[in-house]
Amino acid sequence: MPPECDAQSPQPSDLGREVAACSTDHAFMRKLRGLYRRADRDIARARAVCMGGGTCCRFDLAGHRLFATTGELAMLAGAEASDMSRCARGRCPYQRSARCTARHVRPLGCRMFFCRAAPGTTSAVYETYHAELRRLHGAHGLPYRYVELTAGLAQLFGVFPLTCR
């Protein structure tokens, strides 16, 4: 079912322009990569364990939704997707078998989702880095959106038409 639209929802062309603005700001992208490195170090300290089964990337089966910012979409847009049509089924297009083909540029939500972690361990880390990411958008004068990952990628890559009812 297509999403409902409201005054806050970007049109596909708006999201595309906003993601392009992020991707062409080289200083922003460099800082985002640094933020990811720091987040990965903090996650490693939390001793969260990825079982590597890939269920988490099949959002429809895992029962969760992953959200990403405009800048994170810009980072992902440059990675080679395994199958972009997976977005229409609520699955990550960067998953090939149980592996992520965009692991080095995956959004914070992917970095924080673990099969085994102490309750609340990664949520505090996520909140800290997401707030920093939001400030980073503002510091560079870049548009900040927080969109469901597969819907955002579908808009960017025209996987299926998004219409409003």
State residue 121's pLDDT score.
67
Q: What are the residues whose beta carbons fall under 8 Å from the beta carbon of 96, sequence distance 6 or more?
A: 82
121 CB neighbour count, 10 Å cutoff: 17
Environment class of 145 (CB within 10 Å of its CB; exposed 0-12, middle 13-18, buried 19+): buried
Of the candidates 137, 123, 117, 131, the one whose C-alpha atom is nearest the C-alpha of residue 75 is 137
Domain spans in the chain, listed from the N-terminal domain onward: 12-157
pLDDT reading at 57 higher than 80: no
Q: Which two structure tokens, joined as six digits, stand for 69? A: 């910012």
Sorting pLDDT into bands at 50, 70 and 90, what band is 164? Answer: very low
111 in Cβ contact with 43 (< 8 Å):
yes
pLDDT tens per residue across span 59-92? 777 777 889 999 999 999 888 887 888 888 888 8
Question: Rounded CA gap, 43 and 140, in Å?
Answer: 26
pLDDT tens per residue across span 105-158? 999 988 877 666 666 667 788 899 999 999 999 999 999 999 999 889 988 887
